Amino acid sequence: MPYAAHTWDPDRYLTYADERGRPFVDLLARVRADAPSTVVDLGCGPGNLTTLLAARWPGADVLGLDSSPEMIGKARELAGIRFQVADLREWRPAPGSVDVLVSNATLQWVPGHLELLPRLVQAVAPGGWLAFQVPGNFDEPSHTIRTELAAQEPYAAHLSGVAVPGSHDPAVYLDALAGLGCAVDAWETTYLHVLTGPDPVFTWVSGTGARPTLQALPDDLRADFEAEYKRRLAAAYPEREHGVVLPFRRIFVVGQAPE
């Protein structure tokens, strides 16, 4: 999860737990580890997906790490898995100590995260696996509307330097990991999430990408910002008979470390 001076709401994040969890399942399907001893989930959030790692590899020591005390507090309600508060930028495991290293929807919050890849690969055991997934939808209205509003006064004065996510195309990650000697599988998928309820796209983004922006605004401005954000999102994502469709592009990368 993210790495900035804002806090996270596990319950809001879990509003669309099934939709958010599907990319994790699709990522994990391409990790061909048989019986790893050590599995680490970097940016584990509330831990609901970390349980899938423990279920797949019941003999492994599974550790979930996240920089958010709120998320780790929620994760520790789950039995049988270790969870710790840790910032992945400062995480320093022993070289070759992790058999499977997974990071789901986390690296996009770390500026310059390509520079972290050599250290992450170094942490993986020979023949082990590094697998991560990041959103690739930052040119979609769910994000561009936030950017446009944040640049306007009176909001702009409060939002300079606020955390915003970012990622690269699959080929960039493929080249980076291949250059480190990994065998790489990289791809992208656009999911069409059918959302229901009042202002569903706002509910989605306010739990993730837009949350730092909303938290940075003073109370007397946040309500106006949210109202206009909801209005523009409703126009960009009109309600259909079956719900509101949110296209969501995701970038997947699975690398096997050299033997």
Q: Which residues 6+ apart lie within 8 Å of 34 measured at CB?
A: none
Query: For residue 60, what are its two tokens?
Result: 């492994």
In the structure, what pLDDT confidence band is assigned to residue 14 with cuts at 50, 70 and 90? very low
Given a cut of 50, whether residue 6 has pLDDT beyond it is yes
CB-CB contact of 165 with 240 (8 Å): no
Query: For residue 255, what are its two tokens?
Result: 């690398």
Rounded CA gap, 130 and 124, in Å?
7
CA angle in degrees (0–180, nearest 5) for 183-165-46:
80
Q: How much is the mean pLDDT over the chain?
A: 92
H or E stretch at 184 = strand 183-195
Average pLDDT over residues 206-234: 93
Average pLDDT over residues 191-195: 94
| Higher pLDDT pick, 1 / 74 | 74
Rounded CA gap, 101 and 117, in Å?
12
Q: Which of 2-6, 167-171, 228-232 has the lowest mean pLDDT?
A: 2-6
Residue 4 has what pLDDT? 39
pLDDT digits (tens, 9 = 90+) for 196-205: 999 999 999 9
Break the chain into its structural domains and give their ranges: 10-256
Given a cut of 70, whether residue 3 has pLDDT beyond it is no
CB-CB contact of 210 with 230 (8 Å): no
Residue 208 has what pLDDT? 82
Q: Give the right CATH number for 10-256 from 1.25.40.20, 3.40.50.410, 4.10.520.10, 3.40.50.150.
A: 3.40.50.150
Task: Show the DSSP H helices in 124-193 as ranges.
Answer: 141-150, 156-159, 170-178
Given a cut of 80, whether residue 88 has pLDDT beyond it is yes
Residue 17 has what pLDDT? 64
Q: Which of 10-14, 86-90, 94-98, 249-253 has the lowest mean pLDDT?
A: 10-14
Torsion of CA 125, 62, 65, 99, to 10 degrees: 10
Average pLDDT over residues 176-186: 98
Q: Which residues 6+ apart lie within 8 Å of 214 measured at CB?
A: 206, 222, 225, 226
What number of CA atoms fall less than 13 Å from residue 11's CA on the CB side? 0
Residue 80 has what pLDDT? 86
pLDDT digits (tens, 9 = 90+) for 124-165: 999 999 999 999 999 999 999 999 999 999 999 999 889 899
Q: Which of 38-42, 57-61, 70-74 has the lowest mean pLDDT?
A: 70-74
Query: For residue 249, what are its two tokens?
Result: 């592009």
Residue 13 has what pLDDT? 47
CB-CB contact of 22 with 191 (8 Å): yes
